[in-house]
Amino acid sequence: MRYVCLCLLLAGCTVGPDYKRPDAPAPPAFKELAGWKISQPADAADKGSWWSVYHDPELDRLERMVAVSNQTVKAFEAQYRNAQALVAVARAGLFPTAGLSGGVTRAGSGFSSGSSLGTSSSFGSSGSRSATLYSVSGTVAWDLDVWGRIRRQVESSTAAAQVSAADLANAQLSVQATLAVDYFDLRAEDALRQLLTETVAAYERALRITENQYRAGTSSSIDYVIALAQLQSTQAQLVAVGVQRQQFEHAIAVLTGHAPAELTIAPAPLAAEVPVLPPGLPSALLERRPDIAAAERVMQQENALVGVQLAAYYPDISLSTLGQYVGYPLGQLISTSNQVWSLGATGSEVLFNGGLRAADVAAARATYDGSVAAYRQTVLTAFQQVEDALSGLRILEQQAQAEAVAVSSSRRAVELTLNAYRAGTVAYTSVITEQTQLLLNQQAALSVQQSRLVASVALIEALGGGWSTDDLPKTIETISPLMP
């Protein structure tokens, strides 16, 4: 009993290094922050629904479908449930194992023609005897976690489950961002279709002007042919718009967990406003990105495995007990005279294994060091992505302003040149030149607006999409040890 109590006291020991998050490079401010304000709690997007900042009901509907039906997200969710189960597997080692068995045996000695095997105990004419023996036994075995090997395994498995939870959150964010990008690309195709439709209408009006000028004898048929060719070329561009739009619609259908034939998105304008998204401080990024959280939990997982390998230097200690009743008849089986019991403790230690334990510890430490480097690289990459998105949005905003001026100037140039053509002071080629330049400027402005929306999605994704390490499960729910 004293030995058992000593073992239970020693069970508080846990060998191996306790986890402490290593430092990671974090600048005091983002380099590309010029013109941005530092975010406040009220500035953040709603948790789990960051896309609501675009105020687009159709985008909201599609993003909700992703959360429910996307197969990539479901696969990561299944991996998380598997990680939860592995935590339960590790925790099971902390509990004793109990078993119960029973049996019945018919035994006898000597034979005679008058003997019978149909009773619990009988004697034949020649002195033979037989009996039916009943037995029931229970066993309990317990591997004592004296050195904390199993507790380190539980710590490692719990960290691995948190890695899986962060991976799930990162997969959700990635799929949501991909859908938002595809959606804005689709809306850009809608806007391009509208632009080309309006351009075709303008070119049809210009064609009628050249026809009237030709009939009036103020221009040649060449002007009419040039205007007709320009119109037909633009009509062909309008038809081609449908190809990419359908591809984006098909991609969105797959992201929402549907076959392309099951989803149709009605045309709508491209968003005219790009939401302002305050980026916050670089240090806060460490708590807001699920991929950084996953890399950090990998370090804790590998750190715990160092303790598992160090525990191999210490002996394994286990307790076992047996209680059994053997006898007959069945009604008197449970009695002191039929009782058999045993209680024991065993210990084992490897004295020599050719340096295997030292090699295992060295490998575990090296793996941990690798996870630290991977964590720091993940942090650096995250800072790069935020800086890229900030600079991209700032430059694109400047470009959008310049394109707006160019479109306005081109529209005025087309109007003046067309009036001059009516007056017979310029050739129609001048009109064609200005109309072509206007369309190019309008397409460029549309492309810049599309790029700004896509860049805003990239910034939201780089900032973690409103996610926080507070969303990670602090305790991992597992199957009860009392359940079969």
pLDDT in the model for residue 135 = 79
What is the structure's pLDDT at 39? 42
Higher pLDDT, 337 or 466: 466
Q: What is the pLDDT of residue 116?
A: 45
Q: CA-CA distances (angstroms) from residue 227 to 58, 131, 220, 366, 471?
A: 39, 115, 12, 72, 62
Within 13 Å, how many C-alpha atoms sit on residue 423's CB side? Answer: 8
Residue 287 has pLDDT above 70, yes or no: yes
Give the mean model confidence (pLDDT) for residues 97-113.
76
Q: Are 400 and 451 in contact (CB under 8 A)?
A: no
Q: Across residues 212-239, what is the average pLDDT?
A: 89
Residue 117 in contact with residue 285, Cβ under 8 Å?
no
Cα-only R_g, the chain: 39
All structural domains of the chain with their residue ranges: 7-93+147-314+358-471
CB atoms within 10 A of CB 20: 9
Cα–Cα distance, 376 to 343 (Å, whole number): 52
Position 32 scores a pLDDT of: 67
Count CB atoms within 10 A of the CB of residue 92. 14
For the segment 70-75, the average pLDDT, to the nearest whole number, is 94
pLDDT digits (tens, 9 = 90+) for 9-56: 445 578 989 999 998 887 777 776 665 444 443 344 445 689 999 999
- The answer to whether the beta carbons of residues 463 and 386 sit under 8 Å apart is yes
What does the pLDDT average to over 209-229? 87
What integer is the mean pLDDT of 440-465?
Answer: 95
Percentage of the residues of the chain whose pLDDT score is greater than 70: 85
pLDDT in the model for residue 285: 84
At 480 the pLDDT is 45
Which of 19-33, 59-73, 422-436 has the least mean pLDDT?
19-33
Residue with tokens 């007990």: 321
How high is the pLDDT of residue 136? 81
Confidence of residue 110 (pLDDT cuts 50, 70, 90): low
Other residues' Cβ atoms within 10 Å of the Cβ of residue 366: 12
Q: Which of 17-31, 155-169, 334-348, 378-392 has the lowest mean pLDDT?
A: 334-348
Higher-pLDDT residue of 327 and 424 is 424
Report pLDDT for 115. 44
pLDDT tens digits for range 189-200: 999 999 999 999
Left, alpha or beta for 466 (phi > 0: left; psi -120 to 50: alpha)?
A: left
Ramachandran category for residue 207: left, alpha or beta (phi over 0 → left; psi -120 to 50 → alpha): alpha
In this predicted model, what pLDDT tens digit does every residue of 230-266 receive, in sequence order?
999 999 999 999 899 999 999 999 999 999 999 999 9
Is omega for the bond preceding 57 within 30 degrees of 0, making it cis? no
> For the residues 448-469, what does the mean pLDDT come to?
91
| % residues pLDDT > 90 (the chain) | 63
Q: Is the pLDDT of residue 338 over 80?
A: no
pLDDT in tens, 114-139: 444 444 454 445 556 777 777 788 89
CATH 1.20.1600.10 is held by the domain 7-93+147-314+358-471:
yes
Determine if the pTM surpasses 0.85.
Answer: no
Q: CB within 8 A of 147, min separation 6: which ones?
A: 10, 13, 14, 15, 311, 314
